[in-house]
């Protein structure tokens, strides 16, 4: 029978994506693991791999289509021995993806969906393998390998029983995936049609003055640039923080002269790395956070979550918006490793090639605007993290040393802290300990 290729959920928060490009055309042979398309999420462009083998019979959603809801059929795969006549039945659900902007037609077009539910449910209620084959997303395979899990023992809740990230996390948590998989699979067909009208509904107007409405009334001329998925995500998350997180700000001045000398000496020793001031900042923050687990934390209604490892999100500006790739387990890495890893992450971020696991998560954020000459600023917390560090430019300033006026290279560093997680005194102690490492850089090499 034909196999529907669905719009994948490439991250836990993804509800829709843009189909940027097809890398296979109708009639091409497809093997499991082949990259068949590129999908644009709110943060990056991701490659989609085929979970099954066959021939690409029909493309239902054309390249360049935006706002395609997760689990919407985007193509039909013909199994071995099937010809194009099998496409007549398989192509029926295709209109559900097209009229996403019109709620009424979408409901009518989604009517055939329940017919597919009985076929999908049995697959999802059993482990996603047959005849020795295991169907799992590339991300799920990587996570399972890292966790030492046997995929054959994991129940898949994705399309056609495919194992996805959530299944791996559930298995790691203690086998709860088996208990919830049948229910999740049964609800999936009902949830998919509902997603299209929900995605098509106009977003509620933000509180305050409507810039477009006012500009139109006053006859002001402008060019409207449509908001990208990334821009919308940034807007939603930061608005949420400003409305829900009670935060406070602290700032401290750090002298950099000793650090700059150590940096210069280390860079002269090898061509295998080129350390930046930001690499020292990441290292110092990681070591300090291990001493202050109350800052390397997040708020939940049930408990404050104190993380075992320091995963530092570093803000990187890209042509489409801000993204925060993560240096994971930063407290275990030296300066050279942090430097080389950060260069690779930043390059992939600017090219839109980051994998979800490279930018999702994080326990603490750093935003550095020093290269733009900004002396000091206050950053907005990256939820659900409890703290973000804002780094200004290092510049020569007059300082008093031993009662005499002197000149030193000084950098102002500030933190924005979630008051629910850490009180002001705790934030101040953290910042003072960070300053001590920056001004005595040899201590962070031990």
Domain with 41 in it: what CATH number?
Answer: 2.40.50.100
CA dist., res. 54 & res. 29, Å (int):
6
Q: What is the 3-state secondary structure (H, E, C) of 365-425?
A: EEEECHHHCCCCCCCCCCCCECEEEEEEEEEEEEEEECCEEEEEEEEEEEEEEECCCCCHH
Catalytic residue set: 419
What torsion do the CA atoms of 422, 423, 428, 433 make, to the nearest 10 degrees? Answer: -40
Measuring CA to CA, how many Å separate 428 from each of 252, 271, 282, 440? Answer: 9, 38, 18, 18
The answer as to whether 361 is a domain residue is yes
**With 60 as the cut, is the pLDDT of residue 101 above it?**
no
pLDDT for 52 equals 83
- Half-sphere exposure for 263 (CA within 13 Å, toward CB): 17
* Domain-terminating residue out of 83, 117, 152: 83
CA dist., res. 166 & res. 12, Å (int):
8
- CATH number, domain of 364, equals 3.30.559.10
What pTM value is reported for the model?
Answer: 0.63
In tens, the pLDDT along 332-371 reads: 999 999 999 999 999 999 988 888 889 989 999 999 999 9
Q: What percentage of residues in the chain have a pLDDT greater than 90? A: 44
What torsion do the CA atoms of 294, 300, 302, 305 make, to the nearest 10 degrees? Answer: -30
Tokens at residue 161, please? Answer: 């029983």
SS3 content of the chain, % helix, strand, coil (to 5): 40, 25, 35
Q: Among candidates 159, 101, 103, 119, which has minimal Cα distance to 135?
A: 159
Beta strands in 300-359 (DSSP E): 304-306, 312-314, 316-318, 321-323, 326-327
* Domain-terminating residue out of 27, 57, 83: 83
CA dist., res. 265 & res. 285, Å (int):
22
Q: Among candidates 365, 388, 391, 396, which has minimal Cα distance to 377?
A: 391
What's the burial of 86, exposed, middle or buried (CB within 10 Å: 0-12/13-18/19+)?
middle
Looking up tokens 């985007």 gives 74
Tokens at residue 368, please? Answer: 């550095």
Looking up tokens 């991300």 gives 139
pLDDT for 368 equals 96
CA dist., res. 152 & res. 424, Å (int):
49
In tens, the pLDDT along 188-245 reads: 444 443 444 344 445 556 667 889 898 999 999 999 988 877 788 888 888 888 889 9
Domain encompassing residue 417:
236-445
Structure-model confidence comparison of residues 45 and 200, the more confident one: 45
Q: Are 38 and 61 in contact (CB under 8 A)?
A: no
CA dist., res. 162 & res. 137, Å (int):
7
* Domain-terminating residue out of 29, 58, 83: 83
Q: How many structural domains comprise the chain? A: 2
DSSP lists the bridge partners of residue 366 as 314, 389
Asked which of 79-83, 157-161, 175-179 is least confident by mean pLDDT, the reply is: 175-179
Beta strands in 300-386 (DSSP E): 304-306, 312-314, 316-318, 321-323, 326-327, 364-368
The answer as to whether 225 is a domain residue is no
The answer as to whether 173 is a domain residue is no
Q: Among candidates 20, 14, 19, 70, which has minimal Cα distance to 42?
A: 14
- Residue 36, C-beta contacts closer than 8 angstroms, at least 6 positions apart: 5, 22, 23, 24, 30, 48, 49, 50, 56, 75
pLDDT for 183 equals 40
The answer as to whether 174 is a domain residue is no
pLDDT for 194 equals 40
Structure-model confidence comparison of residues 287 and 126, the more confident one: 287
pLDDT for 104 equals 35
The answer as to whether 94 is a domain residue is no
């Amino acid at each position: 029978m034909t196999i529907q290729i669905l719009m994948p959920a490439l991250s836990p928060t993804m509800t829709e994506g843009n189909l940027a490009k097809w890398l296979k055309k109708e009639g091409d042979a497809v093997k499991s693991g082949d990259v068949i398309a590129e999908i644009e999420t709110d943060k990056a462009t991701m490659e989609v791999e085929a979970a099954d083998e066959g021939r690409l019979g029909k493309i239902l959603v054309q390249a360049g289509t935006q706002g395609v809801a997760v689990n919407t059929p985007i193509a039909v795969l013909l199994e071995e021995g099937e010809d194009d006549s099998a496409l007549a039945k398989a192509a029926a659900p295709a209109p559900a993806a097209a009229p996403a902007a019109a709620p009424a037609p979408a409901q009518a077009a989604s009517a055939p969906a329940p017919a597919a539910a009985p076929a999908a449910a049995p697959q999802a209620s059993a482990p996603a393998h047959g005849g020795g084959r295991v169907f799992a997303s590339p991300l799920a395979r990587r996570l399972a390998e890292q966790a030492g899990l046997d995929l054959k023992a994991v129940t898949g809740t994705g399309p056609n029983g495919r194992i996805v990230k959530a299944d791996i996390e559930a298995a790691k948590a203690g086998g709860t995936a088996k208990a919830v998989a049948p229910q999740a699979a049964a609800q999936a067909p009902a949830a998919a049609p509902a997603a299209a009208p929900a995605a098509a509904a106009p977003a509620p107007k933000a509180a305050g003055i409507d810039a477009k409405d006012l500009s139109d009334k006053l006859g002001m001329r402008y060019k409207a640039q449509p908001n990208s998925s990334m821009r919308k995500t940034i807007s939603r998350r930061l608005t949420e923080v400003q409305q829900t997180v009670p935060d406070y700000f602290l700032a401290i001045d750090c002298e950099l002269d000793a650090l700059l000398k150590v940096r210069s000496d280390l860079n002269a020793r090898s061509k295998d790395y080129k350390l930046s001031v930001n690499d020292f900042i990441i290292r110092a923050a990681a070591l300090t956070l291990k001493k202050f687990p109350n800052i390397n934390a997040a708020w939940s209604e049930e408990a404050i979550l104190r993380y075992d490892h320091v995963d530092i999100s570093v803000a990187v500006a890209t042509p489409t918006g801000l993204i925060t790739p993560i240096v994971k387990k930063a407290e275990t890495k030296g300066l050279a490793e942090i430097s080389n890893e950060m260069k690779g992450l930043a390059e992939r971020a600017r090219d839109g090639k980051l994998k979800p696991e490279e930018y999702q998560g994080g326990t603490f954020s750093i935003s550095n605007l020093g290269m733009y000459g900004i002396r000091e600023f206050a950053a907005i917390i990256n939820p659900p993290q409890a703290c973000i560090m804002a780094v200004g430019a290092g510049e020569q300033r007059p300082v008093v040393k031993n009662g005499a006026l002197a000149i030193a290279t000084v950098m102002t560093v500030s933190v924005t802290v979630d008051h629910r997680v850490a009180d002001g005194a705790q934030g101040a102690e953290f910042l003072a300990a960070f300053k001590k490492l920056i001004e005595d850089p040899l201590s962070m090499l031990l």
